[in-house]
Structure 1
Amino acid sequence: MTPVVFVHGLWLHHTSWQPWVDLFRESGFDPVAPPWPGEPDTVEQARADPAPMGGFGVGEVVDHYAALIGGLDGKPVVVGHSFGGLIAQVLLGRGLAAAGVAIDPAPIKGVLPLPVSSLRVASIALRNPANRKGTVALTPEQWRYGFTNTRTEAEATELYERCAMPSPGRPLFQAAFANVNPAAATKVDLLKPDRGPLLITAGGQDHTVAESISRYTAKLHRRSPAVTSVKAFPDRDHSLTINSDWREVADYVLAWLKEQGLP
């Protein structure tokens, strides 16, 4: 069976992927959803003591997943959301993945659009330089704006209580200053001709990763002759992997992987 590695982004716990893990296993894949470095077993533990997660940046997280991939039986499909989508692109560019799926991915080095809504979400961490070494949590109001702006109040509250947790602030600083840093951790090999196929999704109502960011990311990847696909979900916000309509996104990803000959 083809392995699948799910990579979450900021403010979500690795267990948020469990419905996807179950679906992909039923569909003939061999999926895992590992934690980030320092991430505890439960959301409750992460809220109670987020300190062990502080200070980790994109490079350390990529290396963490690369080491895990090295222990698998064959190259996996890497499916990432938000900063997990950025990490999926880096791993794909390193030749470590058979295919990549970047769901509303955080901006890689070279992405130029900076929509006001995305800047507003990132500023939660960027306004305090101490967050480079620590963790950042979202208030319910910040979660509502950044993740669940299209959901009902009741669902937004339920998702916050079940899924939201503090996350390291350093990746946000790395993404924010990547275009003036020649050695940026968010740099991706955009010219690799033999990389695996890549699917990028765009949420039309996503405040955290605006649709323009996803589309510009795809434009950069099309410098390579390898397959780069884009799928827009016009009515979706940043919670599209965890909200009550997650299955539509997951089913599209499975159909796209089948088109690529996977599994």
Structure 2
Amino acid sequence: MKTSSSRHIVFITGAFVSHHCWDEWQTYFQRKGYTTLAPPWPYKDGTAAELRARQPNDVDLATMTLTQVIDHYVAVITSLPEKPIVIGHSTGGLLTQIMVNRDLAAAGVAIHSLPPLGVIPYEFSFLRGSWKSLGLFTPLEETYLMRFEDFQYAFVNGMPLEEQKAAYDAFVIPESKTVVRGALTDAAKVDFEKPHAPLLFTAGSTDHLIPTHLNKRNVEAYEENDSVLDFKEFSGRNHFVLGQPTWQEDADYILEWLDTVAVTSKVSQAT
């Protein structure tokens, strides 16, 4: 069993939204004694308004690949003095799985994770919420910006309209269609049979984009071995889970899970 008591956390955001969705999470974990980083994807270091102002002609962002995003976070992680805990949401959850699979993380938390290659997301709500981002029959040199109506369905369903609008204005940014398409290639592959560091998956009962059933099939793809592999479904969480009023309850659960993993590590090392 691989476990660790790392005090560094790297947060990885998903597609379509700014890395500032981690701001409150960083503050929370810093107060608990962790050193945290939430680096943006390449070409996304700006406010949502600044990045939307470049839409759709930000060619560097538009032509970025999933492999570039992965390499970017590998460089961040390997620059740290110890293997960090990696916590990712959605596409960031997929990247978390990849970092754990490459043995670059002390532990991983995949929040409403986009599944790796081989776990086919056939759920209707996933297809409805994501197919436009592939940009079929549109120029790959132009970025994709999710419309508010699509954001309502894919991210903030069930929330009051004013909160939906505020979330859209604060966080939604242009995206690379090539990154989205990269999730359908070997760049998104992991070895489900390989032993790995502790890995926690969380799901939300009202998430349209990554529904609980898809999360469970992601977890069930892993082979049973001595690795720690856990799953938790939270009631009433949509895909905007990081910014819902209940976000701290989720963070509390993750912190408790990390503390349990650290205790297990100390016991294992002592024996």
| TM beyond 0.5 | yes
Q: What's the counterpart of residue 3 of structure 2?
A: none
Alignment of 1:119-134 (within 5 A): 119-130=127-138, 132-134=140-142
> C-alpha separation between the residues in 2 aligned to 1:222 and 1:134?
40
Given the alignment of the two structures, is residue 138 of structure 1 paired with residue 143 of structure 2, yes or no? Answer: no
Q: Which residue number in structure 1 is paired with residue 21 of structure 2?
A: 16
Partner in structure 2 of residue 181 of structure 1: none
Name the structure 2 match of 1:243.
Answer: 244
1:69-111, CA deviations, whole angstroms, 9 ceiling, x for partnerless residues? Answer: 1111100000000000000100110010000110001121111
**In 2, are the aligned partners of 1:6 and 1:17 still within 8 Å (CA)?**
yes
Specify the alignment match of 1:56 in structure 2: 64
Cα contact 2:17–2:171 (8 A) shared by 1? yes
Are the counterparts in 2 of residues 113 and 212 from structure 1 also a CA contact under 8 Å?
A: no
Gapped runs of 5+ residues in structure 1?
179-183
1:116 aligns with 2:124: yes
CA distance in structure 2 between the partners assigned to 1:110 and 1:73 by the alignment: 33
Q: Quick one: structure 1 residues 113 and 165, their matched pair in 2 at CA, closer, same or farther if it must change by over 3 Å?
A: closer
Name 2:269's counterpart in structure 1. none
User: In the TM superposition, what whole-angstrom CA distance separates every residue of 1:111-153 from its partner, at most 9, and x where no partner exists?
Assistant: 1341111001221122524464542111111110000002111
Out of 107, 110, 114, the position equivalent to 2:115 is: 107
**Change in 2 beyond 3 A, CA 1:131/1:210:** farther
- Partner residue of 2:87 out of 75, 79, 88: 79
Distance 1:127 1:213 in 2: 23
Structure 2 unpaired stretches of 5+: 1-5, 266-271
Check whether the contact 1:190–1:224 (CA below 8 A) recurs between aligned residues. Answer: no
Q: Aligned AA for 1:92?
A: V
Q: % of aligned pairs identical? A: 34
Amino acid at match of 1:25: Q
1:145–1:73 distance in 2 versus 1, CA, 3 Å: same
Deviation of residue 2 (structure 1)? 1.3
Residues 1:169 and 2:177 aligned together: yes
Of residues 190, 194, 204 in structure 2, which corresponds to 1:192?
A: 194
RMSD: 1.7
Change (3 A) 1:12 1:131: farther
Instruction: Report the Cα distance in structure 2 between the residues aligned to 1:212 and 1:230, rounded to whole angstroms.
Output: 12
Task: State how far apart, in whole Å, the 2-side matches of 1:257 and 1:237 are.
Answer: 23
1:98 corresponds, among 106, 113, 124, to 106
Aligned 8 A contact 1:9 1:80 in 2 = yes
1:225 is displaced (CA, Å) by 3.0
Matched, 1:213 2:214: yes
Mapped partners of 1:238, 1:131: distance in 2: 28
Q: Distance in 2 between matches of 1:42 and 1:162?
A: 8
Deviation at residue 254 of structure 1 after TM alignment? 0.8
Q: Which has the higher contact order (CA 8 A, sep 6+)?
A: 2
Aligned residues: 256
If the length of structure 2 is used for normalisation, what is the TM-score? 0.89
Q: Give yes or no for the alignment of 1:152 onto 2:153.
A: no
- Using a 3 Å threshold, how does the CA distance of structure 1 residues 64 and 224 change in structure 2: closer, same or farther? farther
